[in-house]
Amino acid sequence: MKKELKRVVGIVLVLTLVIASVIPFDANAYNVARIETTDQDNNATTLNGFKTDNVPVPYVDVVEYMNKVYAENNQFSLEAQGNSVYKISNAKGSMTLDATNNTLHSDKIEQFLYNDQKQKPGNDLEYVYEHIVGTEYRAAPNALDINFGEYGIDILEEGGRVFMPLTTIADLTGVSYTNTVFCEDHIYLNYSSGKPGCNWQANYKYPDARDAGEKAYTYGELCFVFDKIYGDPPHCILADSIKNNGLDATLESYSDETRKVKELLNSDNTVDFLFGIAILSSMLYDGGHTDLFMDISTDLEGTPAYDALKNMVKEQPDNPTVVLFNKWFNGSQSKMGAKQKIKEYDREFDKYQAIFDEQMEDGNRYRYYEYGDTGIFVYSNYDENVVRYFKKALDIAKEHGMKNFLFDDSDNGGGSTESCMYMLNAITKDKRDEFYYEGTMTGNQTYEKLDYDMDQDGVFEGDNEDFNYDFNYAVMCSQGSYSSGNIFPCLCQEAGIPIIGEQSAGGTCNLVFFKMDLGSQYSMSAFRTFNYMRGGDLEAGATPDYDITRKNDDGTTDYTNFRNFELLNNIINNHYASKNAASGQDGTSTKVPVVPKTGDRLIDFILQLFV
């Protein structure tokens, strides 16, 4: 969730392998080459690496790669320990790689890896509103041990340096929100979900058979990511089995259908592989974070391999693979569509005059309305822009004498956890400069301390920020409130702020983007499962104090009252009047009206498979 939904097609890091320019240390076993590099600021630099016959991506110098990924104030260094063991350290921690046994060990992997990444350059409008002060533990941490050999992945050494396959080290450092693609003898290092301008689609060969090395590495790498980094979100039916047994054993033992998926993933045929990815993606449905297929289906459109898949779906409906695909894919799309029902009620806002209504090129929208005593801030995601417009709405509400401030979080698919925490910090009585989570690689109960530029003056001033808004706050959420859109109402409720609407939708893990070695992008729940301050994850969502949903005749949810500003204004006024009366701040007692409970992000995405 941290900066995970920026979807920035950023400046890419272009790395060209130049075999003629040998690095200046002794290279006995591998043809290590100087790699010409263009970094994020368009400066020329270098990186060291080499190719092997059985891995489809280059091996890269681990320390050099990590120094390209993380902020300059968090540099990594290497220390040889003897016997092919290397210790890699930064200011906050370390990990040890054993090139003989292909193992990794770290006592505190969260402190080592969960740090500030390089900032996206070249955008003067980007407001840097927070930075990570430190990562701490709520209990004695568990160490992390990974045997890469179990996944057919080697750690190699050469000339006193340690090397790993590009995709493997990129996956391991994916919490930095940097991902990489190897294409046409280049490496592209991208920000978040940015995609390079290269023809990686050609890696999906059809009708030629898949290379044996690519097959083995792709499957082994996928198993590594799911066994060690995946967040095991409760909404996924396979999550418990993957957590306890690993991906490979789950596919082998869970059902005949999962065994078929394993067979497809390991097929020589590219179209079989695509079907395997699509079916597995649907089996892993968790509300929206984990999706192995969406970007493949979008970006492979028009290629021979994807055209062959679509033709099979249309022309061979009785093919067992197509039957399995239709069952799972249609089921996950139906679940996703139901979560987006609230979007249909957006037209109800037309009844009111917005104080401001700002829509970005990426589709994100920020609106502010006023009705009675209440300022209403409507926003569709959490990013840098939301903290700007949130403060703008607060300033207007204060100027106009509003008593209440309502967050309409009901159609919010998520975004940056830091933006979410900035807003929480702004409205809670006790400063919330840290957020709590369980590290998915270790199970460690962990928290990160943040420093905010609350008054947005470009200076981090600690508790001396000029920021004070005294409103009665409330939050409105729904089944359209997912990921950070779920975290915010959950943590607000924990802080005693009333919740209006319906149960929020969960999605308590980080959304992180990864790249397969073939170049295609996928997303998954990974690295962190966010917790309440008091402990426990947020997957169940926030239960509303005031449920204002109704049921339509067809069983769908009627969200009309979510846009009934008179009702919302009255609920907030009465809630705080009753609260003040109960606490002795008011000489009267006001009964809060009972709102009848008549009813019990993600991505607007439709595949044109049947057109």
The three-class DSSP label of residue 299 is helix
Residue 247 has pLDDT above 80, yes or no: yes
Average pLDDT estimate for 122-135: 68
Q: Which pLDDT does position 197 carry in this prediction?
A: 75
Per-residue pLDDT, 599:
32
- Helix count (H) and strand count (E) of the chain? 15, 27
Lowest-pLDDT choice from 42-56, 270-284, 456-470, 580-594: 580-594
Tokens 């210790």 belong to 87
* 389-399 mean pLDDT: 97
- Alpha carbon of 166 to those of 104, 171, 237, 495: distances in Å? 16, 9, 31, 43
CA–CA separation, 502 vs 475, rounded Å?
11
The whole-number average pLDDT for the span 31-47 is 69
* pLDDT the model gives residue 36: 65
Give the model's pLDDT for residue 127: 61
Query: To the nearest whole number, what is the mean pLDDT of the chain?
Result: 86
Question: Which position has the higher pLDDT, 185 or 160?
Answer: 160
Q: Residue 160: left if φ>0, alpha if ψ -120 to 50, beta else—which one?
A: left
Mean pLDDT of 511-520: 93
- Is-contact 541 503, C-beta < 8 A? yes
The DSSP symbol for 364 reads -
Q: What is the pLDDT of residues 462-471, one digit of tens each?
A: 778 888 899 9
For residue 487, the number of C-alpha atoms closer than 13 Å in the C-beta half-sphere is 33
pLDDT for residue 460 is more than 80:
yes
Q: How confident is the model at residue 574 (pLDDT cuts 50, 70, 90)?
A: very high
Q: Is the confidence at residue 124, as pLDDT, over 80?
A: no
Q: What confidence tier does 117 reach under pLDDT thresholds 50, 70, 90? A: low
170 — pLDDT class (breaks 50, 70, 90): very high
**pLDDT (0 to 100) of residue 464:** 81
| 188 alpha-carbon distance from chain centroid | 20
Q: What is the mean pLDDT of residues 54-75?
A: 91
Q: What is the pLDDT of residue 19?
A: 36
Question: Which of 74-83, 202-211, 406-415, 449-458 shows the lowest per-residue confidence on average (mean pLDDT)?
Answer: 449-458
Q: Which residue has the higher pLDDT, 337 or 265?
A: 265
Positive or negative, the CA dihedral 506, 512, 517, 519 is positive
- Whether 112 has a pLDDT exceeding 70, the answer reads yes
- The pLDDT score that the predictor gives to residue 39 is 59
Lowest model confidence (mean pLDDT) among 41-50, 246-255, 537-546: 41-50
User: How do residues 322-363 score in pLDDT, each as one tens digit?
Assistant: 999 999 998 888 877 777 889 999 999 999 999 999 999 888
- Residue 607 pLDDT more than 60? no
pLDDT band at 431 (very low <50, low <70, confident <90, very high): low
Q: What span, in angstroms and rounded, lies between the C-alpha atoms of 180 and 519?
A: 8
DSSP three-state, residue 357:
strand
Residue 597 has pLDDT above 80, yes or no: no
Helix axes 417-427, 384-399, angle to 10 degrees: 20
Residues 7-21 pLDDT 10s: 333 333 344 444 333
Digit-coded pLDDT (tens) for 278-297:
999 999 999 989 999 999 99
pLDDT band at residue 309 under the 50/70/90 scheme: very high
pLDDT at 28 (0 to 100): 53
The pLDDT assigned to 193 comes to: 78
135-150 pLDDT, tens digit per residue, is 899 999 999 999 999 9
**pLDDT over 90 percentage in the chain:** 67
Alpha carbons 202 and 183: distance in angstroms, whole number = 9
The pLDDT of residue 335: 79
Map tokens 């970006």 to a residue. Answer: 299
> Does 604 or 372 have the greater pLDDT score?
372
